[in-house]
């Protein structure tokens, strides 16, 4: 039996009032009327004793009637089994330990493992527990959530015996939390039973992007506790970072930035390389950074920062200095304006450094060897000599790029001088050139979207070459009956009248590119355009050149992208990639170091410098307080409880209206009121009869006395 308004039971306390008043009332007993005293002033009677309870049945009926009325106002009802017996909800326990690179600082990792071990040991044995490491991926270490049923053995225990180490990547705790919530929800849905979640996050909380935490949708029944591993958080260390090279073409030095934390207690450091070539002494106040130039080497080496009390971030592995160059064979006259413009545009490249050669008939070079040393291209501004045609065609067929720039007007003799080369390169096309007289100017329409040669210029922002006027143009003609294929001529870019501007064809392993206009003032406005240099470097194939080295965060690299037998892995300054002291295989990423890309071993060395992400160094303090504002807090819990209470009250009101026990209470009170009336009439009748008898007895005594 439950009551919808139990406070009305307080009305039943009024039953005690008449009883109390009756008990404290005093009455006068044996009062006799004497006729001779009727003319005297009456004195107040003296009570003889306290009254006793009289007419107990009547008193009980009245009290019971008041109690029934009060009970009816409480709106009683009987709960159903579903409402009375609610099975206790299961509770999952999740312990998530941050395994990002910043946890390698000082004693953070050991402290995190200690906290995790205490939480695991303190979990009741009948409560399912799971333990994860949150690095770039969420790695399970203990998972007993999917154990069927409940009982001993699914909770408690201790840490796994195989010791783990932090990763070298950034932390992503919000994403780890989402994965834990998804797994918890999937298991709860499969069981069909309400399951709560007790989530423990162990971290230094050095990064706290509120947007990531704010986007988490917390289900009901989730409680979160934060366990900082360091209070207060310390940053008293310095670190090294390799920076990208500047625009200078000289790549014989590396740009290395040294940073000192704002709360550091040290400011004198020494930078030493593993080759023993030099030592750099420097003074760096707390909160400052400095860029130093470190001479490169032909072999990979290690930089070490001394004077810092912590080891984290004090080692930097550098690859060999890049020697990648591009070889350009050309037949232009350096004193010619057109040749000077295109050479200046190509030399504006940051990399690779172009090496110019006038030996276009060189038959001793091997394009595959050139590809390993750098890039190779033949640039023809004038018709080649007949004895150089075979050499040019041979290099193109073996993979070299050939660019024919028709940058000046052609007459019949000049056009005929190009024919031997065209016939050897494209024997079936019958390619011919002729000067096209223009009455007005032409505009460049843009590049073909689907052609890979100018893929960068096929996007909408690059297709428009602006108001570039073209005054002169060479007309190309070839046989239309040539079947379409990889070795056929194709239009890559055209003018606004539909005539071709750039055409290309694949010849063997190489590519032939033709331009039908020049770039001098007499030819067009192309040479003064800011897009001319990117266009030319793309046409000669240098825009696809690999950099001397790449800088990647450790968590953006996988072990299969780098060569395990690279010189960097065998050098004294770097241990092997599989070394357990530097890399934990569970993370699938390399430790900081210099590696040679596995997919570039046959076409030149592309070195990759794997580094710790910068945000693992640049800590802004403990963000646990900020993160806590986006967790399911007490207000959310109270709101959920209020919602549950309101839902339960609605169900109770429905049950009370359906059962209607209050009506039976009022009906019983009505029946008792009838009984009370009858008993009251009987009691008053007895009192009146007693008074009459007393008066008659008194009269009789008086009469006898007078007689």
Assigned domain for 436 exists: yes
* pTM (two decimals): 0.56
Q: Are 27 and 95 in contact (CB under 8 A)?
A: no
Asked which of 173-182, 619-628, 629-638, 642-651 is least confident by mean pLDDT, the reply is 629-638
Q: What is the pLDDT of residues 124-162, one digit of tens each?
A: 887 889 999 998 888 888 888 876 455 444 555 667 777
pLDDT at 291: 92
CATH number at residue 453: 3.40.50.880
Four-CA torsion 105, 111, 113, 115, nearest 10 degrees: -140
Alpha carbon 15 to its chain centroid, in Å, reads 68
- Between 638 and 593, the more confident residue is 593
| Cα–Cα distances in angstroms (integers) from residue 239 to residues 80, 242, 395, in the given order | 67, 10, 49
Statement to judge: residues 33 and 19 lie in one domain: yes
Looking at the fold, whether 173 and 129 belong to one and the same domain comes out as yes
Q: How many residues does the chain have?
A: 707
- Tell me, yes or no, whether 221 and 121 share the same domain: yes
pLDDT in tens, 24-60: 655 555 556 666 666 667 666 655 555 566 667 777 8
Specify whether 297 is located in the same domain as 348. Answer: no
* Distance of alpha carbon 125 from alpha carbon 479, whole angstroms: 85
Check pLDDT > 70 for residue 673. yes
Residues 6+ apart with CB under 8 A from 205: 226, 228, 622, 623, 624, 627
Give the tens place of pLDDT for each residue, 674-705.
887 887 777 778 767 777 777 777 777 777 76
Query: CA 396 → CA 262, 373, 379, 430, distances in Å?
Result: 58, 17, 12, 19
> What digits encode the pLDDT tens for the residues 55-97?
677 778 777 877 878 877 877 777 654 443 344 567 889 999 9
- Give the per-residue SS3 of 71-100: HHHCCEECCCHHHHCCCCCEEEEEEEEECC
**Strand ranges, E, within 577-698:** 593-596, 607-611
Q: Which residue has the higher pLDDT, 608 or 449?
A: 608
Confidence band for 192, pLDDT divided at 50, 70 and 90: low
User: Considering 518, 544, 570, which residue would you say is the last residue of a domain?
Assistant: 544
DSSP label at 522? T
Taking 70 as the threshold, does the pLDDT of residue 481 lie above it?
Answer: no
> Same domain, yes or no, for 390 and 529?
yes
pLDDT at position 373: 44
Residue 362: pLDDT band (50, 70, 90) is low
- State whether residue 118 is helix, strand or coil: helix
Of 73-82, 108-117, 184-193, 574-583, the one with minimum mean pLDDT is 574-583
Torsion angle of C-alpha atoms 272, 274, 276, 280, degrees rounded to 10: -10
Mean pLDDT of 400-404: 92
Is the residue at 641 inside a domain? Answer: no
Of 519, 544, 569, which closes a domain? 544
In 3-state terms, what secondary structure has residue 366? coil
Q: What's CA 184's distance to the chain center, in Å?
A: 19
Higher-pLDDT residue of 21 and 663 is: 663
Tell me the C-alpha distance between 12 and 85, whole Å: 30
14 and 68 in a common domain = yes
For 344-381, letters b (16+ CB in 10 Å) and e give: ebbeebebbbbeeeeebeeeebebeebbeebbbbbbbb
Closest CA to 224 of 206, 196, 201, 194: 201
Domain that holds residue 578: 238-322+548-616
For the segment 499-526, the average pLDDT, to the nearest whole number, is 91
Please determine, for residue 415, whether its predicted confidence score (pLDDT) is greater than 50.
Answer: yes
Query: 150 with 205, same domain?
Result: yes
53 and 122: one domain? Answer: no
196-212 pLDDT tens trace = 889 999 998 887 666 78
β-strand pairing of 500-507 with 90-98: unpaired
Residue 643 inside a domain? The answer is no
Confidence of residue 636 (pLDDT cuts 50, 70, 90): low
Structural domain count of the chain: 4
C-alpha Rg value of the chain to the nearest Å: 49
Answer yes or no: do 103 and 223 share one domain. yes
User: Comparing 686 with 121, which gets the higher pLDDT?
Assistant: 121
In sequence order, the β-bridge partners of residue 253 are 295
- Rounded to the nearest 5 percent, the helix, strand and coil shares of the chain are 35, 25, 40
Q: What is the mean pLDDT of residues 100-104?
A: 89
CATH assignment at residue 186 = 3.40.50.410
427 by DSSP, 3-state: which? coil
Segment 231-279, tens digit of pLDDT:
777 766 888 988 887 754 456 788 899 999 887 888 999 999 888 887 8
Count CA atoms within 13 Å of residue 449 on its CB side. 3
Domain end call among 589, 616, 643: 616
Q: Does residue 644 lie within any of the structural domains?
A: no
Mean pLDDT lowest among 40-44, 223-227, 336-340, 572-576: 572-576
Provide, rounded to the nearest whole percent, the portion of the chain with pLDDT above 90.
19
Domain-located, residue 605: yes
Rounded to 10 deg, the angle between the 661-706 and 56-73 helix axes is 160
Q: Which residues pair with 197 in a beta bridge?
A: 92, 222
Given a cut of 80, is residue 507 above it in pLDDT? Answer: yes
229 and 100 inside one domain: yes
d(CA 352, CA 100): 36
pLDDT at 168: 87
| Of 375, 380, 341, residue with least CA distance to 358 | 380
Cα gap 444→500, rounded to integer Å: 10
Window from 112-121, 187-196, 257-266, 607-616 with minimum mean pLDDT: 187-196
Check if the beta carbon of residue 513 is closer than 8 Å to that of residue 380. Answer: no
For residue 567, pLDDT over 70 is answered with no
Pair 6, 54 in one domain: yes
Which of 692, 674, 689, 683 lies closest to 53, judged by CA?
683
Q: Residue 576: what pLDDT?
A: 35
Q: Determine whether 117 is exposed, middle or buried from the number of CB atoms within 10 Å of its CB (0-12, 13-18, 19+).
A: middle
Alpha carbon distance 375, 131 (integer Å): 52
Please give the average per-residue pLDDT across 619-625, as a whole number.
71
Asked whether residue 638 is domain-assigned, the answer is no
Q: Is the pLDDT of residue 530 over 70?
A: yes
What's the confidence (pLDDT) of residue 54? 65
Tokens representing 25 are 């009332």
Both 399 and 525 in one domain: the answer is yes
């Amino acid at each position: 039996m439950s009551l919808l308004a139990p406070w009305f039971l307080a009305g039943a306390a009024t039953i005690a009032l008449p009883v109390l008043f009756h008990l404290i009332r005093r009455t006068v007993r044996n009062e006799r009327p004497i006729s001779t005293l009727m003319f005297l002033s009456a004195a107040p009677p003296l009570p003889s004793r306290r009254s006793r309870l009289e007419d107990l049945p009547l008193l009980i009926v009245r009290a019971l009637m008041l109690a029934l009325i009060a009970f009816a106002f409480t709106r009683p009802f009987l709960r159903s089994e579903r409402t009375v017996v609610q099975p206790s909800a299961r509770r999952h326990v999740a312990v998530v330990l941050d395994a990002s690179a910043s946890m390698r600082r000082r004693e953070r990792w050991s402290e995190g493992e200690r906290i995790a071990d205490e939480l695991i040991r303190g979990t009741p044995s009948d409560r399912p527990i799971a333990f994860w490491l949150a690095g770039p991926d969420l790695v399970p270490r203990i998972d007993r959530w999917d154990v069927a049923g409940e009982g001993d053995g699914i909770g408690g225990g201790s840490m796994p015996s195989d010791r783990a180490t932090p990763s070298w990547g950034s932390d992503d705790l919000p994403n780890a939390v989402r994965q834990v919530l998804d797994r918890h929800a999937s298991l709860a849905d499969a069981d069909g039973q309400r399951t709560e979640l007790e989530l423990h996050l162990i971290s230094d909380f050095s990064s706290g992007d509120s947007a990531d935490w704010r986007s988490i949708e917390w289900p009901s029944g989730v409680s979160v506790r934060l366990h900082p591993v360091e209070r207060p958080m310390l940053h008293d260390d310095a670190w090294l970072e390799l920076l990208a090279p500047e625009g200078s073409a000289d790549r014989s030095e590396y740009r290395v930035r040294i940073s000192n934390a704002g709360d550091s207690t040290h400011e004198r450091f020494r930078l030493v390389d593993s080759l023993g070539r030099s030592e750099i002494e420097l003074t760096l106040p707390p909160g400052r950074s400095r860029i130093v130039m470190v001479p490169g080497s032909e072999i990979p080496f290690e930089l070490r920062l001394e004077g810092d009390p912590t080891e984290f971030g004090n080692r930097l592995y550098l690859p060999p200095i890049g020697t990648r160059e591009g070889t350009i064979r050309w037949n232009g006259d350096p004193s010619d304006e057109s040749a000077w413009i295109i050479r200046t545009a190509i030399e504006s490249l940051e990399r690779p450094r172009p090496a110019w050669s006038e030996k276009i008939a060189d038959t001793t070079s091997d394009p595959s060897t050139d590809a390993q040393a750098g890039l190779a291209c033949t640039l023809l501004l004038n018709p080649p000599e007949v004895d150089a045609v075979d050499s040019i065609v041979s290099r193109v067929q073996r993979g070299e790029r050939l660019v024919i720039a028709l940058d000046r007007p052609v007459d019949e003799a000049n056009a005929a001088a190009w024919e031997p080369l065209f016939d050897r390169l494209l024997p079936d096309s019958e390619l011919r050139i002729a000067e096209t007289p223009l009455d007005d100017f032409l505009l460049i329409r843009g590049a073909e979207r689907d052609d890979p040669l100018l893929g960068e210029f096929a996007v909408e922002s690059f297709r428009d070459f602006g108001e570039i006027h073209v005054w002169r143009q060479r007309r190309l003609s070839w046989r239309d009956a040539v079947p379409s294929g990889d070795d056929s001529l194709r239009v890559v870019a055209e003018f606004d009248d539909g005539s071709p501007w750039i055409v290309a064809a694949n010849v063997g392993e190489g590519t032939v590119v033709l331009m039908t206009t020049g770039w001098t003032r007499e030819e067009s406005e192309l040479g003064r355009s800011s897009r001319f240099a990117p266009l030319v470097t793309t046409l000669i194939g240098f825009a696809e050149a690999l950099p001397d080295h790449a800088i990647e965060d450790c968590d953006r690299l996988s072990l299969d992208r780098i060569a395990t037998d690279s010189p960097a892995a065998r050098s004294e300054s770097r241990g092997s990639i599989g070394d357990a002291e530097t890399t934990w295989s569970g993370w699938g990423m390399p430790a900081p170091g210099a590696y040679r890309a596995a997919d570039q071993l046959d076409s030149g060395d592309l070195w990759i410098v794997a580094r710790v992400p910068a945000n693992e160094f640049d800590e802004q303090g403990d963000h646990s307080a900020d993160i806590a504002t986006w967790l399911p807090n007490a207000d959310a819990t109270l709101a959920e409880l209020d919602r549950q209470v309101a839902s339960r009250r609605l169900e109770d009101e429905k049950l009370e209206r359906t059962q209607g026990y209050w009506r039976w209470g009022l009906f019983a009170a009505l029946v008792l009121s009838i009984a009370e009336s009858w008993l009251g009439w009987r009691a008053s009748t007895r009192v009146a009869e007693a008074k009459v008898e007393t008066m008659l007895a008194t009269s009789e005594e008086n009469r006898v006395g007078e007689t």
